[in-house]
Amino acid sequence: MSEKTIFARIIDREIPADIVYEDEHCLAFRDIKPQAPTHVLLIPKKEISSLDDLQSDDHKLAGHLMMVLPRLAAQLGLADGYRTVINCGPDGGQEVPHLHIHLLGGRPLKWPPG
Protein backbone atom coordinates (compact mmCIF):
# COMPACT_ATOMS: atom_id res chain seq x y z
CA MET A 1 0.00 0.00 0.00
CA SER A 2 1.44 3.38 -0.99
CA GLU A 3 1.76 6.22 1.46
CA LYS A 4 -0.86 8.99 1.31
CA THR A 5 0.23 12.19 -0.37
CA ILE A 6 0.33 15.41 1.59
CA PHE A 7 -2.75 16.52 -0.37
CA ALA A 8 -4.70 13.39 0.61
CA ARG A 9 -3.73 14.09 4.21
CA ILE A 10 -5.03 17.68 3.86
CA ILE A 11 -8.30 16.40 2.40
CA ASP A 12 -8.62 13.98 5.33
CA ARG A 13 -7.77 16.79 7.80
CA GLU A 14 -4.76 14.87 9.09
CA ILE A 15 -2.59 17.94 8.63
CA PRO A 16 -3.69 21.59 8.72
CA ALA A 17 -4.01 23.85 5.71
CA ASP A 18 -5.36 27.36 5.12
CA ILE A 19 -8.45 26.21 3.22
CA VAL A 20 -10.13 28.94 1.15
CA TYR A 21 -12.71 26.85 -0.71
CA GLU A 22 -14.28 23.43 -0.48
CA ASP A 23 -17.15 21.54 -2.05
CA GLU A 24 -17.97 17.85 -2.48
CA HIS A 25 -15.52 17.47 -5.40
CA CYS A 26 -12.53 19.69 -4.61
CA LEU A 27 -10.60 21.69 -2.07
CA ALA A 28 -8.49 24.85 -2.39
CA PHE A 29 -5.85 25.99 0.06
CA ARG A 30 -3.00 28.49 0.25
CA ASP A 31 0.40 27.25 -0.92
CA ILE A 32 2.96 27.07 1.90
CA LYS A 33 5.68 28.41 -0.44
CA PRO A 34 3.79 31.12 -2.35
CA GLN A 35 5.23 32.39 -5.63
CA ALA A 36 2.86 35.38 -5.76
CA PRO A 37 0.88 37.39 -3.20
CA THR A 38 -2.04 35.03 -3.88
CA HIS A 39 -1.01 31.42 -4.50
CA VAL A 40 -3.68 28.79 -3.99
CA LEU A 41 -3.76 25.12 -4.95
CA LEU A 42 -7.03 23.63 -6.20
CA ILE A 43 -7.15 19.84 -5.89
CA PRO A 44 -9.76 17.21 -6.66
CA LYS A 45 -10.80 15.11 -3.69
CA LYS A 46 -10.57 12.08 -5.97
CA GLU A 47 -7.01 10.78 -6.02
CA ILE A 48 -5.64 11.36 -9.52
CA SER A 49 -1.85 11.36 -9.76
CA SER A 50 -1.43 13.83 -12.62
CA LEU A 51 -3.05 15.37 -15.66
CA ASP A 52 -1.86 12.31 -17.61
CA ASP A 53 -3.92 10.06 -15.32
CA LEU A 54 -7.31 11.63 -16.00
CA GLN A 55 -9.73 9.02 -17.33
CA SER A 56 -12.67 9.54 -19.69
CA ASP A 57 -15.10 9.30 -16.76
CA ASP A 58 -13.27 12.23 -15.08
CA HIS A 59 -14.52 14.77 -17.62
CA LYS A 60 -17.19 16.20 -15.28
CA LEU A 61 -14.66 16.53 -12.46
CA ALA A 62 -12.13 18.24 -14.75
CA GLY A 63 -14.83 20.61 -15.98
CA HIS A 64 -15.89 21.32 -12.42
CA LEU A 65 -12.34 22.30 -11.48
CA MET A 66 -12.22 24.70 -14.45
CA MET A 67 -15.53 26.25 -13.40
CA VAL A 68 -14.38 26.71 -9.79
CA LEU A 69 -11.22 28.60 -10.79
CA PRO A 70 -12.84 31.89 -11.91
CA ARG A 71 -15.18 31.90 -8.89
CA LEU A 72 -12.21 31.28 -6.61
CA ALA A 73 -10.21 34.04 -8.32
CA ALA A 74 -13.11 36.46 -7.80
CA GLN A 75 -13.43 35.40 -4.14
CA LEU A 76 -9.71 36.10 -3.68
CA GLY A 77 -9.94 39.56 -5.26
CA LEU A 78 -7.99 38.81 -8.44
CA ALA A 79 -10.02 41.20 -10.61
CA ASP A 80 -6.93 42.37 -12.56
CA GLY A 81 -6.08 38.85 -13.70
CA TYR A 82 -4.44 35.64 -12.60
CA ARG A 83 -2.55 32.64 -13.90
CA THR A 84 -3.36 28.95 -13.61
CA VAL A 85 -0.65 26.30 -13.87
CA ILE A 86 -0.83 22.51 -13.96
CA ASN A 87 2.57 20.86 -13.66
CA CYS A 88 2.71 17.30 -15.01
CA GLY A 89 5.52 14.88 -14.18
CA PRO A 90 9.01 15.53 -12.83
CA ASP A 91 10.24 17.49 -15.86
CA GLY A 92 7.08 19.59 -15.69
CA GLY A 93 7.84 20.54 -12.09
CA GLN A 94 5.20 18.38 -10.41
CA GLU A 95 6.33 17.68 -6.84
CA VAL A 96 3.23 16.02 -5.35
CA PRO A 97 1.67 13.06 -7.22
CA HIS A 98 -1.88 14.38 -6.89
CA LEU A 99 -3.40 16.50 -9.65
CA HIS A 100 -3.42 20.15 -8.63
CA ILE A 101 -3.92 23.53 -10.24
CA HIS A 102 -1.92 26.52 -9.06
CA LEU A 103 -3.89 29.78 -9.01
CA LEU A 104 -1.50 32.74 -8.84
CA GLY A 105 -2.18 36.46 -8.78
CA GLY A 106 -1.99 39.68 -6.85
CA ARG A 107 0.85 41.14 -8.94
CA PRO A 108 1.76 41.37 -12.63
CA LEU A 109 3.08 37.97 -13.76
CA LYS A 110 5.92 37.70 -16.27
CA TRP A 111 6.26 35.38 -19.28
CA PRO A 112 7.88 32.96 -19.77
CA PRO A 113 7.23 31.61 -16.29
CA GLY A 114 10.36 29.50 -15.82
Task: Return the DSSP state at 79.
Answer: T
- How many residues belong to the chain? 114
Which entry of 39, 98, 100, 102 is annotated as an active-site residue? 100
Active site residue 100: yes
Cα gap 78→87, rounded to integer Å: 21
Catalytic sites, residue numbers: 100
